[in-house]
Amino acid sequence: MKIQKTVQIPLFSSLASELKFALLLTSLTFLGLIVGLIGENVPKNMSQGHLIMWGGFGLSYVAGGIPAGYEALKSLFSKRRLDVDLLMVLAALGAASIGQVADGAILLFLFSLSNTLQDWAMGRTKNAISALMELNPEGAIIRRDQIEKWCELDQIKIGDTLIIKPGERIVADSRISQGYTSVDESPITGESHPIDKDFNDFLASGTINLNGSVEAMVIRSAGESTLARLVKLMENAQTQKSRTEYITEKYESPYAILVLIAVPLIFAGLYFWGGLEIKEAWYRTMTFMVVASPCAVVISTPAVMLSAMATAARAGVLFKSSASVDTLAGIRTIAFDKTGTLTQAKMTLKNIVSEDEEYILALAAGLEMHSEHPIAKAIVQAAQEANIRPIELHEAQAIPGYGIEAYFESKTQSDVETVGEKAWAGNLRLARRQGACLSDEYQNILDQFNKQGSSSVVIGVGKKIVGIMFVEDALRVGIADVMSDLKKEGIEHTVMLTGDKKEVAKKVAEQVGLNAYHAELLPEDKLQLIGELSKPIAMIGDGVNDGPALVRADLGVAVASGTDVAIDSADVVLAKNDLGKLVGALRLAKEARKTVLLNLFFAFAVIIIVAPLAVAGKIPLPLGVIAHEGGTVFVVFMGLRLLAYRM
């Protein structure tokens, strides 16, 4: 079954072939230039000289000019915008018109080279991501022939049953066969409000399951993996440009128009009022046009951003757009989720307080097998290790910030409307919501464990609490160092936003070295706090409950081990789950910002200094070409330099 592979591969191969084509054109332009120069310099009495020269330069103009001219005309007619590509082609033709054919060819070659280098940087990003994809192949839990197993995406077949937990992406088009839920279809429709899904309803591949734990029958083979989607997003990074890019882009077209208007005016001015000969006036005007083309300005930002994104991707930090690189550079406050972000996603069950430990573990595992939460994983694993079979429950619903609940008997399977009793597992808030009350004895034990930093899970049936479990969480390795490094990089404020109890939050905040903590938060509280804390703010999270806050923050960062909801909501994904990479990414982002400013300064300086000199006739065309295109190549190389940056 290679279905999935054929979905993914065109994405990469098309890019590779695009790059090859660009490289071919640039090489041909170069070849033409060289041949043309040879032809130009053969002794005049050799009749083939002219032929070689025109053949060479002709090739150069065709290979370098036609693709750029085609793109320029396309955007002129379809988008009604004039871009610098057109100026470049006109400038090359202008150079040819005054007998400086070689200069035109050099212009086209360098222009083509800088574009190819950009494509190459983009390709590096793609390669880095595809390497990550091979590192952790994606899959889903399915049931086939009564056996539940994890299955790679391309192995999933029509007729398999997907077992979909809250917060997970639906990996294939399917229909619900058990349970009910609501789904976020915004990845497909762009509309982000939850849509209720019941028995036999259609689940589209790529959408995100929100609260319910459901089973669904696959009706079409699997769609793209999350990483493949990220790659696409990065390809579309063009549509979400960074601020500086946006500014230069906004003025690109008016500027190009300005230059085109200035050209005849300058020519007329030099000829009629300057008293120059027509040939000299035209020569100076063409030199001006070459020099005034803002190629370096336009290319200065994307060259830097693409390289930064590629370098970051290699280190496992995936920026979804170049705008996010720019945003990261300015971040002053960082808000961290606790569970799964500051702490490892791997928790362990430490203690069970109940009259019947085995039953409680079976019940809790029966509930938690429907949850994505790190606490849930700890409990399910403990049951597995103790060889205890989870109790079968139905219609499980996660309640972000509270816990999970499910029923002993399924509504959808029997057509009787009476549902069985409700079982639940979660925090004290959930217990209160169910109308359950903690006995003094339980309360004492709870306080004691919380003070030691263990999180508690209360388990109940109906209004009755049947037991409490304590899970222990290890901090991520080296997390305290990460915090002090972030401070050194100019992050003024670090704060924890957690749904866990205050005592636990306090202990972790102290250990990690955070400035502040806010505990017992619901998803909407996290969202609100993000709005209130000082800006610009980044939020780092992993859970379903972090989604809204990740979207609201100036920069949302998701840990890849987290839920698909978090990954989808974020602007940046830490693919290797290493928060330390954030420090490197921050340094890189600042370096990128600095390089962009330097590039822009340089590019404008060249124009401002050289353009008037061209009009004054102080600069011959070849020098103008070198100043202009040298500037362009310089800014591209300044960008590519970031490819070698050590994160």
Active site residues: 337
The type of residue at 446 is L
Q: Does 64 bind Mg ion (CB under 5 A)?
A: no
C-alpha to C-alpha distance for 644 and 647, rounded to whole angstroms: 9
Query: Dihedral through CA 90, CA 95, CA 97, CA 102, nearest 10?
Result: -120
Phi–psi pair at 209, nearest 5 degrees: -75, 130
Q: Does 580 bind Mg ion (CB under 5 A)?
A: no
Q: Which of residues 220 and 451 has its CB atom nearest to ligand ADP in the complex?
A: 451
Among 340, 403, 426, 584, binds Mg ion (CB under 5 A): 340
In angstroms, the Cα distances linking 229 to 159, 171, 199, 420, 568 are 24, 12, 28, 41, 10
Q: In angstroms, give the least distance from the CB of 109 to Mg ion.
A: 53
Q: Find the length of the chain.
A: 647
Question: Which partner in ligand ADP, Mg ion, none is near 343 (CB below 5 to 8 A by kind)?
Answer: none
C-alpha to C-alpha distance for 501 and 455, rounded to whole angstroms: 7
Q: Does 166 bind Mg ion (CB under 5 A)?
A: no
Q: In angstroms, give the least distance from the CB of 530 to ligand ADP.
A: 13
Q: Which of residues 283 and 402 has its CB atom nearest to ligand ADP in the complex?
A: 402
Place of tokens 């005592």: 503
Enumerate residues 491-550 that contact Mg ion by CB under 5 A. Answer: 542-543
Q: Which of residues 179 and 340 has its CB atom nearest to ligand ADP in the complex?
A: 340
Give me the residue whose beta carbon is nearest to ligand ADP. 499
Q: Which of residues 64 and 167 has its CB atom nearest to Mg ion in the complex?
A: 167
- Which residues contribute to the site for ligand ADP (CB under 6 A)? 337-340, 368, 371, 373, 375-376, 401-404, 425-427, 455, 457, 498-500, 543, 545
Q: In angstroms, give the least distance from the CB of 559 to Mg ion.
A: 9
Helix (H) or strand (E) holding 478: none
Q: Which of residues 237 and 431 has its CB atom nearest to ligand ADP in the complex?
A: 431
Question: Which partner in Mg ion, ligand ADP, none is near 402 (CB below 5 to 8 A by kind)?
Answer: ligand ADP
The type of residue at 114 is S
Q: Which of residues 15 and 505 has its CB atom nearest to ligand ADP in the complex?
A: 505
Q: In angstroms, give the least distance from the CB of 339 to Mg ion.
A: 4
Q: Which of residues 259 and 575 has its CB atom nearest to Mg ion in the complex?
A: 575
Q: Which of residues 72 and 428 has its CB atom nearest to Mg ion in the complex?
A: 428
Q: In angstroms, give the least distance from the CB of 591 to Mg ion.
A: 31
Q: In angstroms, give the least distance from the CB of 158 to ligand ADP.
A: 31
C-alpha to C-alpha distance for 53 and 23, rounded to whole angstroms: 23
How many C-beta neighbours within 10 Å does residue 489 have?
Answer: 15
Question: Which partner in ligand ADP, Mg ion, none is near 401 (CB below 5 to 8 A by kind)?
Answer: ligand ADP
Q: Does 556 bind Mg ion (CB under 5 A)?
A: no
Angle between the 621-640 and 101-135 helix axes, to the nearest 10 degrees?
A: 10
CB-CB contact of 540 with 577 (8 Å)? no
Of residues 234, 177, 172, 180, the one with CA closest to residue 204: 172
CB-CB contact of 593 with 300 (8 Å)? no
Q: Which stretch binds Mg ion (CB under 5 A): 340-348, 479-487, 593-601, 607-615?
A: 340-348
Give me the residue whose beta carbon is nearest to Mg ion. 543
Q: Does 401 bind Mg ion (CB under 5 A)?
A: no
How many C-beta neighbours within 10 Å does residue 105 have?
Answer: 31
C-alpha to C-alpha distance for 133 and 149, rounded to whole angstroms: 21
Question: Which partner in Mg ion, ligand ADP, none is near 104 (CB below 5 to 8 A by kind)?
Answer: none
Question: Which partner in ligand ADP, Mg ion, none is near 123 (CB below 5 to 8 A by kind)?
Answer: none
Question: Which partner in ligand ADP, Mg ion, none is near 517 (CB below 5 to 8 A by kind)?
Answer: none
Q: In angstroms, give the least distance from the CB of 122 to Mg ion.
A: 33
Of residues 414, 326, 372, the one with CA closest to residue 166: 372
Q: Which of residues 338 and 576 has its CB atom nearest to ligand ADP in the complex?
A: 338
Tokens of 532: 């209130």
Task: Map residue 294 onto helix, strand or coil.
Answer: coil
C-alpha to C-alpha distance for 20 and 173, rounded to whole angstroms: 35
Q: In angstroms, give the least distance from the CB of 478 to ligand ADP.
A: 20
CB-CB contact of 53 with 43 (8 Å)? no
Q: Does 339 bind Mg ion (CB under 5 A)?
A: yes
Of residues 206, 248, 462, 482, the one with CA closest to residue 343: 482
The type of residue at 217 is M
Q: In angstroms, give the least distance from the CB of 526 to ligand ADP.
A: 7
Those residues with Cβ within 8 angstroms of residue 178's Cβ, 6 or more apart along the chain or in another chain: 199, 214, 215, 394, 410, 412, 413
C-alpha to C-alpha distance for 475 and 513, rounded to whole angstroms: 12
Phi–psi pair at 450, nearest 5 degrees: -60, -40
Per-residue interface string for the shown chain with Mg ion, residues 286-325, x marking contact by CB under 5 A: ----------------------------------------
| Interface contacts to Mg ion, rule CB under 5 A | 337, 339-340, 542-543
